Amino acid sequence: MQPARRLYRRESEETRRSALIAATQDLVAEGGPEAATVRAIAERAGVTPGLIRHYFQSKDELSRAAYRALMDGMTAKGADAIEAVGAKPEERLAAFIAASLRPPVLDAGAVVLWAGYMHKVRSDPDLMAVHEASYLAYRDTLQKLIETLPRTLLPGQTRAEAIACNALIDGLWVEGSLLPATFAPGEVITIGLASVGAILGVDLLAHTAMLPEFGKTLP
């Protein structure tokens, strides 16, 4: 009797691209951008070096794609959180901030990966463009949420507020990721909401009923 023939399932192009991006991220997090050589990426992803050229024109293009995936993924988590709550502006802003300060966004590996790219940003114009676009995408989302708050606004006020709030969230993200044991469960989110609320003059902590950190789970 012949043994059962093993079925071969060809992976999709998107799956292959994702695997290469994940392998690149792992290597950059472990040893910086220099560790992510074509050979090392191929070995980590379980493919031949030549296959990388099929999906990316160069190693630099793959490296930029890996950085973009990291940054855009964090903004996407916030966008998903907004969709899971109601229509109140304060509630939507609170959900976006909380998503930026909890796992999987709050993660030491993500901070280490981000830091691994930082020294290359100034010397690589294309990587700088990726960084700028990702930063602006997050900040613009934050600004649009701020603009919906029921307040009287001055010209240019929400842009300045979004810049300040973004910087505050970034700082909490770094410290909360790298030093989680120094914070009580949910403390980073509470500090973030209280601090952003102080900048904006609104009580965001009063609009957290749908956040898991405050006793209820998101739909």
- The model carries a pTM of 0.85
Contact by Cβ (8 Å): 97, 193 = yes
Number of compact structural domains in the chain: 2
In a domain, 19, yes or no: yes
pLDDT value of residue 120: 85
In a domain, 3, yes or no: no
172 and 78 in a common domain: yes
pLDDT value of residue 14: 83
135 and 157 in a common domain: yes
SS3 call for 14: helix
- Our separate counts of H helices and E strands in the chain read 9, 0
In a domain, 5, yes or no: no
129 and 154 in a common domain: yes
Closest by alpha carbon to 145, among 129, 131, 166?
166
Token digits for 56?
Answer: 């990316």
CATH of the domain at 46: 1.10.10
Average pLDDT per consecutive 10 residues, the chain (219 residues; last block may be shorter): 41 84 92 90 90 89 93 92 92 96 95 90 92 96 97 95 98 97 96 98 92 62
79 and 51 in a common domain: no
In a domain, 82, yes or no: yes
72 and 52 in a common domain: no
In a domain, 25, yes or no: yes
pLDDT value of residue 11: 58
In a domain, 4, yes or no: no
C-alpha pair distances (Å), 22 with each of 17, 57, 128, 154, 186: 9, 17, 20, 44, 28
201 and 181 in a common domain: yes
pLDDT value of residue 6: 38
97 and 46 in a common domain: no
pLDDT value of residue 119: 83
195 and 96 in a common domain: yes
CATH of the domain at 137: 1.10.357.10
Rounded Cα distance between 190 and 96, Å, is: 13
pLDDT value of residue 69: 94
pLDDT value of residue 197: 98
208 and 130 in a common domain: yes
In a domain, 219, yes or no: no
SS3 call for 152: coil
150 and 42 in a common domain: no
pLDDT value of residue 43: 92
In a domain, 123, yes or no: yes
pLDDT value of residue 215: 60
24 and 87 in a common domain: no
200 and 128 in a common domain: yes
Q: Which domain holds residue 205?
A: 68-214
pLDDT value of residue 219: 37
